[in-house]
């Protein structure tokens, strides 16, 4: 097992220190009162302390249990509960309380639902916009098992950004993304851009799973060919010794290089750093791409 490099240890320690502050405790308390999950908690995000201390969080709708078993992910895998019909409104109410200008929300994969949860995503976009005029919304969606109808349901609600993570290179899917399909994810992004060209598309890539530089570059080319506008690149961190283990830790200089490369290739905005995650600094990335 590889040891954490200093640049990871120092940044994670700094972010965790934020959890002890009053602001972070207030964020946690309000999330509990509104009965809302966050991907910050469920996915063991290393940026949780920093975001919570700044009154920010990425909502996790449709519960905190996933129907798939990706080997990189910390989200619980067992039988999920039915969707909570009051959840979209509560997310909108808390967003209003926090005076959010940009809201990101995601979900575990819900293959048990006929539409994969698309209707719940659409309702969440609608409620967020209804209670918070001018709020920008970014749903980070699963692949809906390839259903274009489900995807279009979300797009018709009018989000500012449609996000879906490619996660890793094609050759690693069998080991890392059980139940997912590389071409299906690319197809989702491509159809989103075709159906609603006015909505920015976004994807995220983890490094450190055993990919080569050529495979990374091919993935970026595939994303661009599928109409992807915004990109995040971050270091994979294994949630536990039972998850897929890290094969390599990339340096901050490595990430700066990939950021420069991706921008030169044609992405409208890129965030690449060791602790970059798909929803981290999402508003800044949106505005860097010219979003208004």
Task: Give mean pLDDT, residues 113-121.
Answer: 97
CA–CA distance, 21 with 16 (Å, rounded to integer): 10
pLDDT in tens, 148-159: 999 999 999 999
| pLDDT tier at 286, thresholds 50, 70, 90 | very high
- φ, ψ dihedrals at 203, nearest 5°: -145, 165
Per-chain mean pLDDT for the chain: 87
Check whether 4 has a pLDDT greater than 80.
no
Q: Are 200 and 138 in contact (CB under 8 A)?
A: no
pLDDT of residue 22: 64
CA-atom Rg of the chain in angstroms:
18
The predicted structure's pLDDT at residue 81 = 87
Per-residue DSSP letter, 168 = S
**Which of the pair, 48 or 233, is modelled with greater confidence?**
233
254-262: average pLDDT: 97
Neighbours of 208 (CB within 10 A): 21
How does residue 46 score in pLDDT terms, banded at 50, 70 and 90? low
Q: Is the pLDDT of residue 219 over 90?
A: yes
Q: Centre a 10 Å sphere on the Cβ of residue 32 and count the other Cβ atoms it contains.
A: 9
Per residue in 6-43, pLDDT tens? Answer: 766 666 665 555 445 566 678 788 888 999 988 656 55
8 Å CB contact between 58 and 279: yes
pLDDT at position 31 is 87
What's the rounded mean pLDDT across residues 199-228? 97
pLDDT score recorded for residue 123? 98
Question: Is the pTM above the cut of 0.75?
Answer: yes
- Mean pLDDT check: name the lowest of 17-21, 57-61, 64-68, 158-162: 17-21
Which token pair is 238? 């294994």
The pLDDT tens digits for 126-141 are 999 999 999 999 999 9
Average pLDDT value for residue range 256-284: 93
> Which pLDDT score, from 0 to 100, does residue 63 have?
87
DSSP code for 36: -
Tell me what pLDDT residue 73 has.
67
Share of the chain residues as helix, strand and coil, in percent rounded to the nearest 5? 45, 15, 40
Long-range CB pairs of 26-34, under 8 A, 24+ apart, other chains included: 26/55, 27/52, 27/53, 27/55, 27/56, 27/57, 28/52, 30/94, 30/97, 30/98, 31/57, 31/94, 34/90, 34/91, 34/93, 34/94
37-46, 175-184, 224-233, 243-252 — most confident range: 224-233
Kindly give the residue spans of alpha helices, DSSP state H, lying in the chain: 6-17, 22-33, 39-42, 48-53, 87-97, 118-131, 148-155, 173-176, 182-195, 213-225, 252-265, 282-288
pLDDT surpassing 60 at residue 48: no
In the chain, % of residues over pLDDT 70: 83
CA of residue 137 relative to chain centroid, distance: 13
204/220 Cα distance (integer angstroms): 10
Q: Given a cut of 90, is residue 57 above it in pLDDT?
A: no
Residue 67 scores a pLDDT above 60: yes
Q: What local confidence, expressed as pLDDT, does residue 229 receive?
A: 98
Complete domains list, the chain, with CATH: 6-286 (3.20.20.70)
Residues with Cβ within 8 Å of 147's Cβ and at least 6 positions away in sequence, in order, are 115, 116, 118
pLDDT for the residue numbered 54: 56
Using CA atoms, how far apart are residues 46 and 183, in angstroms rounded to an integer? 29
Which has the closest alpha carbon to 43: 134, 132, 140, 116? Answer: 140
Residue 278 or 152, more confident: 152
In this prediction, residues 202-229 reach a mean pLDDT of: 97
C-alpha 94/C-alpha 33 separation (Å) is: 10
Q: Tell me what the mean pLDDT of segment 221-238 comes to.
A: 95
């Amino acid at each position: 097992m590889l040891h954490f490099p200093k640049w990871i240890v120092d940044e994670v320690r700094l972010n965790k220190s934020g959890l002890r502050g009053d602001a972070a405790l207030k964020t946690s308390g309000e999330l509990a009162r509104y009965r809302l999950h966050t991907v910050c908690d469920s996915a063991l995000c290393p940026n949780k302390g920093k975001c919570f201390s700044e009154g920010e969080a990425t909502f996790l709708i449709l519960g905190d249990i996933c129907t798939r078993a990706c080997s990189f992910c910390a989200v619980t895998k067992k039988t999920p509960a039915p969707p909570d019909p009051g959840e979209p409104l509560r997310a909108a109410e808390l967003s209003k309380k926090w005076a959010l200008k940009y809201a990101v929300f995601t979900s575990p994969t819900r293959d048990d639902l006929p539409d994969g949860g698309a209707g719940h995503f659409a309702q969440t976009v609608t409620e967020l916009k209804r209670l918070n005029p001018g709020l920008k919304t970014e749903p980070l969606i699963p692949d809906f098992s390839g259903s274009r109808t489900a995807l279009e349901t979300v797009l018709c609600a009018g989000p500012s950004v449609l996000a879906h993570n490619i996660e890793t290179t094609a050759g690693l899917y069998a080991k890392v993304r059980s139940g997912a399909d590389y071409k299906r994810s690319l197809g989702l992004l491509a159809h989103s851009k075709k159906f609603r060209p006015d909505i920015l598309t976004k994807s995220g890539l983890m490094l450190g799973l055993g990919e080569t530089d050529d495979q990374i570059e091919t993935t970026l080319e595939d994303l661009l060919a599928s109409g992807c506008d915004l990109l995040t690149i971050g270091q994979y961190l294994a949630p536990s010794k039972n998850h897929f283990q890290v094969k390599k830790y990339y340096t901050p200089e490595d990430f700066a290089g990939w950021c420069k490369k991706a921008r030169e290739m044609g992405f409208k905005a890129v965030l690449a750093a060791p602790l970059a995650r798909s929803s981290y600094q999402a508003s800044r990335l949106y505005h860097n791409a010219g979003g208004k």
